[in-house]
Amino acid sequence: MKTLAAELAFFLRGQARQNLKLLILYCTFLLILVLTYSALFRFLMWQLEGREYSFLAGLYWTVVAMTTLGYGDITFTTEPGYLFSTIVTISGVIFMLILLPFGMISLFLAPWIEQRLRYRPTVALPEETRDHVLIFGFDAVTRALTRKLQNRQIPFIVVCSDHAQAVRLEEEGFRVLLGIPTDAQFLKGARVQAARHIIANLSDPENTNLCLTVRSLCETPIATLVGQLEHGELLRLAGANQAIALKRILGRYLATRATTRGALAHVLDSFGRLQIAEIPVQATPFAGQTLAEARIRQRTGLAVIGLWERGRFTTPDAATRLSPKALMVLAGTREQLEALEMVTGEEESDDLVLILGHGRIGCAAASFLDRRPVPFILIDKQPSPDCLDHVAVIGDATSPHVLRESGIDQAKGLIVTTNDDSINIFLTLASRHLNPSIRIVARANREENVDQLYAAGADFVISNASVGASILNNVLEGKESIFLTEGINVFRRPLPPNLVGQTIAESRIRPLTGCSIVALEREDAEEPLVVPPPETLLEKGMGLILIGSPEQEENFSRNFRG
């Protein structure tokens, strides 16, 4: 069935699609011809021979004449009638019996056979191939990763075990290798030993098997995406260098953005002592104030390094007004975050988050909230087969009745995390309608749907593919980096030697690269210096923690090479 669908799909792509249009046009022409002949037949029969026939009889006579069947049950008996019959029969031979089959063969059958014969899958790479990234398992995440690799001009090869998928990807312009990923001989042909990195994105057992096979051959680094959390350890044992629990990370991102609990609840990641955290402006007394009026720096020592609002990330300045709908991204130490918590005051009991969808991502979000602890209610169509920790309300979330019964009116936050984007869009719209002030965080399974989710009323959208691809990309670059959003990274670099002895203003890091310094790490001091003022002296042995887009990051590498 799958192969039939794949073969049929051939007719809906590229040149075959054009030809299909031509065929439809031709058939329309034939239809008009037949209808015209039928009408003429009735007219001539009545005029020449005084006989009256129905429309259906006319159609029948025309088709029988054009296909040269000629039953002879309805015939003309006059000379002009014979002439008309001859014309109809000859045009039938030309248009139906010669041109139609000829067109079918030359426009469809021949290209299809040619394509089948021409496609010779690549099963091994040339000897000199090296420094390539091998991608096992192609989906939305690895597709997004390939775009990043293309931008950075890193050669990559997609490995497929499915012939039809290989054909499709090759038609899209990817370099594809066809073979069994756990066959050592095939892996040697894929030049794993010379590869820069291996991305294992198959099922957990297949990834394990792949890691073991690769490790029996070479030490090339392997990054794998883990399906089930408990399998991470096994994958590492099998030889994976990184086992990335993407679903747990996504669950955590969704959860931190859905609650208005204090700052410590939102630590995204840390570089040594420096923590990067998020806090909704709404949870603080600063809503409506400008950054200068809020005096967050003076009160806590924390720096606001970014503002997130409806999918947009901006770097604020003193005059930026803090909208209650925004999230502040903060940099500072744990103690400074605690100081902020003293200012904002922990909101106790009145937070409630609804989670729609108890798949692995929904479950990870629930576990995260559980540890805070933030009260939540899970809703799913069916009981989860994998989870013993949570009890979900069983019901279809698309029914407003279920949402109301679960308390959407009182809820402060909502996480929409089913595996179907149309349902996620629908649920976002319906929930926004039922509770206009609720904070909605939605998951986009496909990047194309991010905008629709925002349009439906989501406050934050997390795209599986973007997050996954950015994490993998950071792993490939071997750099420590925190993913904030598509296009914004926080990253660490040693102080370039030629900047030693200059002040930050003299270093011209921001004008030259666009990156901003979030913090300075000093060898002798425990505390990183958060958002240092421009007159700060850059000293030998310091570490820089910067924020910027991938291009700005590249500018930094280009301008300040070791």
Exactly one of 215, 390, 432, 522 binds Zn ion (CB under 5 A); that residue is: 390
Exactly one of 155, 316, 359, 375 binds ligand ADP (CB under 6 A); that residue is: 359
Least spacing, CB of residue 348 vs ligand ADP, in Å? 29
Does 215 contact Zn ion by CB under 5 A? no
Interface with Zn ion in residues 46-65 (CB under 5 A): none
Least spacing, CB of residue 247 vs ligand ADP, in Å? 6
Binding partner of residue 252 among Zn ion, ligand ADP, none, CB under 5 to 8 Å per kind? Answer: none
Binding partner of residue 196 among ligand ADP, Zn ion, none, CB under 5 to 8 Å per kind? Answer: none
Least spacing, CB of residue 385 vs ligand ADP, in Å? 9
Binding partner of residue 229 among ligand ADP, Zn ion, none, CB under 5 to 8 Å per kind? Answer: none
Does 249 contact ligand ADP by CB under 6 A? no
Least spacing, CB of residue 473 vs ligand ADP, in Å? 21
Give the total of residues touching ligand ADP (CB under 6 A). 20
CB atoms within 10 A of CB 304: 23
Point out which span in 32-40, 302-310, 358-366, 426-434 binds Zn ion (CB under 5 A).
358-366
| CB within 8 Å of 350: residues ≥ 6 apart | 412
| CB within 8 Å of 223: residues ≥ 6 apart | 197, 198, 199, 200, 240, 241, 242, 244, 472, 475, 476
Q: Which is nearer to ligand ADP, 198 or 414 (CB)?
A: 414
Q: Which is nearer to ligand ADP, 124 or 393 (CB)?
A: 393
Paired tokens of 134: 């091998």
Q: Which is nearer to ligand ADP, 354 or 530 (CB)?
A: 354
Tell me the one-letter amino acid at 139: D
Q: Which is nearer to Zn ion, 218 or 229 (CB)?
A: 229
Does 301 contact ligand ADP by CB under 6 A? no
CB atoms within 10 A of CB 364: 23
Q: Which residue is nearest to ligand ADP (CB)?
A: 359
Token pair 């421009």 is at which residue? 534
Does 362 contact ligand ADP by CB under 6 A? yes
Q: What is the CA radius of gyration of the chain?
A: 33
Binding partner of residue 387 among ligand ADP, Zn ion, none, CB under 5 to 8 Å per kind? Answer: Zn ion
Point out which span in 97-105, 253-261, 384-392, 507-515 binds Zn ion (CB under 5 A).
384-392
d(CA 144, CA 134) in angstroms, rounded, equals: 15
- Per-residue contact string for residues 315-354; x = within reach of ligand ADP by CB under 6 A: ----------------------------------------
Least spacing, CB of residue 184 vs ligand ADP, in Å? 32
Give CA separation, 190 vs 97, 126, 128, 241, in Å.
Answer: 51, 9, 11, 19
d(CA 271, CA 521) in angstroms, rounded, equals: 10
DSSP H helical segments within 372-420, as ranges?
400-405
Contact (Cβ atoms closer than 8 angstroms) between residue 432 and residue 269? no
Interface with ligand ADP in residues 364-423 (CB under 6 A): 379-382, 396-398, 417-420, 423
Does 135 contact Zn ion by CB under 5 A? no
Residue by residue, DSSP assigns 99-157 as IHHHHHIIIIIHHHHHHHHH-----S--TT--SPEEEES-SHHHHHHHHHHHHTT--EE
Give the strands of the sheet with 267-271, arranged side by side. Answer: 267-271, 274-280, 327-332, 303-309, 312-314
Q: Which is nearer to ligand ADP, 260 or 431 (CB)?
A: 431
Q: Half-sphere exposure of 59 toward its Cβ, with a 13 Å CA cutoff? A: 7
Tell me the one-letter amino acid at 356: L
Tell me the one-letter amino acid at 119: Y
Nearest CA among 112, 44, 122, 28 for reference residue 83: 44
Least spacing, CB of residue 265 vs ligand ADP, in Å? 22
DSSP H helical segments within 190-240, as ranges?
204-215, 231-237
Does 229 contact ligand ADP by CB under 6 A? no
Q: Which is nearer to Zn ion, 158 or 369 (CB)?
A: 369
Nearest CA among 364, 117, 139, 125 for reference residue 253: 364
Binding partner of residue 488 among ligand ADP, Zn ion, none, CB under 5 to 8 Å per kind? Answer: none
Q: Which is nearer to Zn ion, 238 or 379 (CB)?
A: 379
Q: Which is nearer to Zn ion, 390 or 432 (CB)?
A: 390
Least spacing, CB of residue 278 vs ligand ADP, in Å? 22
Say how far residue 279 (Cα) sits from the centre of its chain. 26
Binding partner of residue 390 among ligand ADP, Zn ion, none, CB under 5 to 8 Å per kind? Answer: Zn ion
Exactly one of 59, 167, 281, 387 binds Zn ion (CB under 5 A); that residue is: 387
Element (H, E) at 276: strand 274-280
Binding partner of residue 419 among ligand ADP, Zn ion, none, CB under 5 to 8 Å per kind? Answer: ligand ADP
Contact (Cβ atoms closer than 8 angstroms) between residue 131 and residue 193? no
Least spacing, CB of residue 448 vs ligand ADP, in Å? 17
Binding partner of residue 208 among ligand ADP, Zn ion, none, CB under 5 to 8 Å per kind? Answer: none
CB atoms within 10 A of CB 98: 11
Does 363 contact Zn ion by CB under 5 A? yes
Binding partner of residue 362 among ligand ADP, Zn ion, none, CB under 5 to 8 Å per kind? Answer: ligand ADP
Least spacing, CB of residue 467 vs Zn ion, in Å? 20
d(CA 371, CA 518) in angstroms, rounded, equals: 29
d(CA 318, CA 276) in angstroms, rounded, equals: 20
Q: Which residues bind Zn ion (CB under 5 A)?
A: 363, 387, 390
Q: Which residues bind ligand ADP (CB under 6 A)?
A: 247, 356-362, 379-382, 396-398, 417-420, 423
